[in-house]
Amino acid sequence: MLLPGCEPDPFLSVEETQLDFPAEGGSATLHFVANKDWSVSSEESWCTVTPASGEGGKGEIVLTVKCDRYEGYDDRSTAIALRCENLQKRVSVTQSSKGVLIIEKTRYEFGYEAQTLKVSVRSNKDYEVNIAEDSQAWIHLVDTKGLR
């Protein structure tokens, strides 16, 4: 029982600490609880949160976090700040970059003698080298070097 004039201390709880989005963008939900009026903001315009504020003490609050499509080649990140009076919680938001795979030459021709071929590949993402099953008898992977 509360005495007249006594108010509970502010309370703010959020379980998610990280949201990840693909380069295509999209939306996700963020759940939290606050017992007093709250507000939320994003540090970057490419990441928006709705609603931006509301009343606390009404149970779980659900926000929608949206990220725009991203055409860059490096991952990007920002933070969402949740506030309830003097309390603040931050949720990190990371968006993957657009994948790039550049192979300088896509067609090679060989004579009948054995040869070693160097294929130059540039990528900002991890990649695998696979040899078709019906070609594994005559094509062998010697080594790969990962350059970014």
Predicted pLDDT at 140: 80
Predicted pLDDT at 110: 78
- In tens, the pLDDT along 20-79 reads 999 999 999 999 999 999 999 999 999 999 999 999 888 999 999 999 999 998 899 999
CA 89 distance to own-chain centroid? 19
**Is the entire prediction scored with pTM above 0.85?**
no
The more confidently predicted of residues 135 and 18 is 18
Mean pLDDT of all residues belonging to the chain: 88
Query: Starting from the edge strand earliest in sequence, which strands make up the sheet with 26-34, in order?
Result: 12-14, 26-34, 60-67, 47-50
Does position 2 have pLDDT exceeding 60, yes or no? Answer: no
Q: To the nearest whole percent, how much of the chain has pLDDT over 70?
A: 93
Integer angstrom CA distances of residue 88 from 32, 44, 46, 78: 12, 18, 22, 16
Rounded Cα gap, residues 112 and 115, in angstroms:
9
